[in-house]
Structures are given as C-alpha cells and as structure tokens.
Homo-oligomer: A and B are copies of this chain.
Amino acid sequence: MNPNQTKNDAITRQEDDFAQWYTDVCKKAELMDYTSVKGFIDYLPYGYAIWEEIQNFCNRKFKAKGAKNVYLPMVIPQSLFATEKEHVEGFAPECLVATIGGGSELSDPLIIRPTSEILFSELYKRQVKSYRDLPKKYNQWCSVVRWEKTTRPFLRGSEFLWQEGHCLFETEEEARDDALTMLEVYDSIGTELLAIPFVKGQKTEHEKFAGAVATYSIEALMPDGKALQSGTTHYLGTGFAKAADIEFLGRDQKLNTPHQTSWGVSTRLLGALIMVHGDDNGLVLPPRVAPIQTVIIPIRGDKVPAVMEECHKLLDELTKLGVRAEIDETDHTPGWKFAEWEMKGVPLRIEIGPRDLENGNMALARRYNGAKDIVPLSEIEKIPAILEEIQAGMFEKAKDYLAKHIKTANSWDELKAILDEGGYARMMWHEDEELEMKVKEVTNGGTARCLPFNEKPFGDTCPLDGKPADRVIYFAKAY
C-alpha cells in the first residue's frame, strides 16, 4: 500500500456509490479476494476469522438445542436428486454437475450439493426405524454451490459457506416448534453477537423454499434501504420423508411418516455485518465478533523504548482480561495505522505516546462513534466493560435506523414511495400470489419479505385491492 494513503481516499463514499463502497470494504479490509472463477471467492484470514466467531457462537447455541454436527457428501447423484419434485424444480436450473470421474463418463452424473435435504433424508432412512430413534437433529458446516449469474461477495456467490440443520420428528407439532425455535436462535446471532436487529416472520407461499410447507426468515435492513434475508428455517412437512420412503414404527404400533425441518445461515451474515455497521472509513465491527477487539498504537515507539514497554504491558493485561488485542509494531506512521485499523473496523484503539506516558495516560478511540477520550492507564481494566458498552451502543444505533425505516402504506402510491425511498412498507395483507407479482412490477422490484411476528393486525382491509386482510406484511426491495 501507499504509505501516504489517507483514510479518505481509500474507498468510495457510501453516498457516491453504495455498491462500490461495499466491494471496496470487502477488498480493502482484506475480508476476501476474487478468483479466476466468477462467483467463487477466497475467504482471507480476517474475513474467515469473523466467520469462525459466528461458527463458535452457533455451535454453542445449536448444541444447547440438541443438534449434533455431522458431515455428509458434497455430491448428490442426479437420479437421487430427482426424487422430490418441487425441490428439484427449484434447484435444478442452478446446479453444477460433475460428469467425469477418474477419466470416465459417469453413468449417473453427480450434482455438487446446492443444499442437502435429499442426502439427510437418505441417511435418516437408514437410521430411523422406531419412534425411539426420534428426534434426529443433525447439522453440518460446509460449502454449497448454486450457479449464479450475478454474484457479489458474501451476498450471492456460486459457492458459499453455510450451516444446514436437518431434523426429523415424530409429530408435526415438534417439527413446527423446531422451525420456530431455530429462528429464535438465528435472531440471537443478531441480538447477542452481530448487533443487528432482525425482522422475524413467515415467508409467503410465493417466497417460501422449494419443497417446504412453511418458511421463516430473519431479515436485516441495509443502509441503502434494501432488505437482506439473513437466515431461514423451514417446516418441510412429510414430503421429503415420503419421497425418501422414511417410515417409523410409532407409539401406535403403526408405520408413520416423520416430519422434517431444515434451517440455515450463511456467509451472507458477513454481508449484513459489513453493511449495517460500516461507514466511509471502512468496516465497523461489534466487539463480540471482532477478531481483534482492541489495537494498541505506539506513538514514537521506535524512538522511546518506554512507550513500547508500556504497550506490551497493556497487551499482557488485556490478554489476561480475555480481550483479543494486538500491537501494531510496523514502521508505518501513526496516521497510516489509524486509517488501516479503522478500515478493518477494530472497535477500540489505544494510542500511547511519550507525553501520554509522562502523564500516566492513554487515548481511547471508539470506532463506531468516533469518540476519543484521554484516560489514566489504570483504566485498562475497564476495557472489557467499554467493549460491552460499544456492543450495546452499536445495537441501539442499528435498532434506531430500523425503527425509522418501517412505514405504513395505505395505498399503491404510498407503497411505491416507501419502497423508492428505501425501508419496509408495512400493510395489511391476504395471501395472493398474483398481487405479490403485481407489487413487484409496480414498485420496480419490491418483494414480500415476511409476515412479521412482532406485529398485530392494525386493520382488516388490503390497501391495494380492498379485499379482506387478516395479517401484516412487510414489503421491501431486497438483495
């Protein structure tokens, strides 16, 4: 990099070109890199470390809900894939298919998994014989491939990393419960880790997963006013189980078909994280998910050994306090370092120079609101609490933004105006796929994001066609 680079010339400004700002941050914060195959990216150490924090968080939560990790094949025989009709129609157009193995043409081509419902069904068919074998709650972390025409880092890739939970239950009630329980777990990724407020709700028939009876989602709102579907859970009914011929001997001594669920979050969460909190200086990470929570910048440390000594003392104390901290000992200027670590979104920066040291002070700079304080060195022990304050502050800021961008639409014009401006249009609604298609056309791309759980009906008529309406819906333009 150019040592004279200042933070301002580093990336495109959000208001100039939000999409370009996003890809600039992805690249300049060294989260990812492009490869020679479109839609397949390199996850670099800094980006992958964030994903690992999300994985650790989820593994703890999943385990508490009884899920166990497994790993299933990355390929699905084409003949097997064809067994569940709606599912195959949904996924077939975007499949990557292997036709040659060991130099010979394969008699049954292999689809690189776009999702693994079929494989889990095949496994469960062998494992489940009696109600005593239920429930089954397996999860896997893997990458999946969906051949996409338009791709963007983390948001839409031909290959992406995700987890997919696949469960089998004795009763419909348990399965429906599971889909909702796991949606709550997904919501907690936002409230407890990423400082992102999600809208939780059910998908319309038109937007639901291919092969599902009901799909639920968490939706995040981006600063450009577009929604980002960030996780989904599905009650699959008995369709996959029937297609795979899974039956178990029930408590009634009869053969029953089990009820299935699946649920997944992906590296899309990284996209949400970047957009929800980022600014014109780059990434802004909430402390709990930040690979580096505090960076220590020595000022004139190369000239004054006591400064470097103090930096290492502080690093040791922070490490003991359980804070993920680093010292930047490179030979760049302090200004360059400030810009670099702001770009990488480190939540808290400590600066110490000779004069600070003389006065027994250090400077603390918060990344998310730019606040900078001079405090006594002894306050190093308060840093875990400060990081938690930052986490809470970032969440509040994001909640404020969300609340300001949910507006009621009472007519076609209002709906169009709200979606043009950006954010959610809330309306009374009745299930109607054709009307949904018309909204998309009229609003130039607005889609039904979900029927939100946190909203009670506030009327009984659909403002678009005047028909009786009994539920609330959120429309938005979306990624």
Contacts and interface: CB of A to CB of B under 8 A. Distances in A.
A439 interface: no
B99 A161 contact: no
A371 interface: no
A103 B148 CA distance: 11
A35 B70 contact: no
Nearest to A99: B99
Nearest to A73: B40
A98 B69 contact: no
Interface in A203-249: none
A332 B325 CA distance: 51
Nearest to A51: B71
A315 interface: no
A56 to B, nearest CB: 11
Given A48-B70, A98-B99, A102-B147, A119 B161 contact: no
Contacts of A158: 101
Given A48-B71, A110-B96, A37 B77 contact: yes
Contact of A98 (B52, B73, B112): B112
Interface string A86-107: 0000001111111111110000
Contacts of A80: 36
Contacts of A161: 71
A74 B145 contact: yes
A45 B143 contact: no
A403 interface: no
A337 to B, nearest CB: 15
A35 B71 contact: no
Nearest to A67: B45
A71 B123 contact: no
A122 B75 CA distance: 26
A33 interface: yes
B73 A37 contact: yes
B96 A71 contact: no
Contact of A70 (B40, B43, B97): B43
A327 interface: no
Q: Interface residues of A toward B: which range?
A: 35 or more
Given A36-B77, A98-B99, A110-B37, A45 B71 contact: no
Interface string A59-90: 00000000011111111010010000000000
A323 B51 CA distance: 28
A126 B33 contact: yes
A43 B119 CA distance: 12
A363 interface: no
Contacts of A341: none
Given A33-B123, A96-B100, A102-B93, A73 B138 contact: no
A3 to B, nearest CB: 11
A150 B40 CA distance: 31
A417 interface: no
A70 B42 contact: yes
A159 B123 CA distance: 17
Interface string A240-276: 0000000000000000000000000000000000000
A102 B149 contact: yes
Given A40-B75, A44-B70, A48-B71, 8 more contacts: A33-B126, A35-B119, A35-B123, A37-B77, A42-B71, A71-B161, A96-B100, A97-B101
Interface of A: 33, 35-37, 40-45, 48-49, 51-52, 68-75, 77, 80, 92-103, 109-110, 112, 119, 122-123, 126-127, 138, 142-143, 145, 147-149, 158-159, 161
27 contacts: A33-B123, A33-B126, A33-B127, A35-B73, A35-B119, A36-B80, A37-B77, A37-B110, A41-B73, A43-B72, A45-B68, A45-B138, A48-B70, A49-B69, A51-B71, A74-B74, A74-B143, A75-B96, A93-B103, A95-B103, A96-B102, A96-B110, A97-B99, A100-B109, A101-B147, A101-B158, A102-B147
Closest 6 CB pairs of A and B: A102-B147, A40-B73, A45-B68, A43-B71, A97-B100, A101-B147
